[in-house]
Amino acid sequence: MAMNNTQKIEIELNGEPYAIEVDSSLEQLLIAIGKGIESAENSSPRRFGAVAVELNAEIVSQDQFSQTQLNDGDKVEVVTLVGGG
């Protein structure tokens, strides 16, 4: 029987427990929950559209998503802005 040795941490995502791999960035979390937008050229950096993120009560700018490391117990709020009329 194969063992999965992937270590996980638990964060709070929009008020709910969420397990993610150790050493994950905020960018990796957003991709995992389907908030990343692939560019036509498939190049970095990824685009995230109208997404606002708060990490432990601090707003994180999109240009910091890939450099922001998640830690056990972090509280992440992700809000997708939707236009309409």
CA distances from 6 to 12, 17, 35 (A): 19, 18, 23
The verdict on pTM exceeding 0.85 is no
Domain segments of the chain as ranges:
8-80
Q: What is the per-residue pLDDT across 57-82, written as a single tens digit (0 to 9) for each?
A: 999 999 999 999 999 999 999 998 88
Does the domain at 8-80 match CATH 3.10.20.30? Answer given as yes
CA distances from 34 to 30, 37, 52 (A): 6, 8, 14
Q: What is the rounded average pLDDT of the residues 36-53? A: 68
Contacts of residue 74, Cβ cutoff 8 Å, sequence gap at least 6: 11, 12, 55, 56
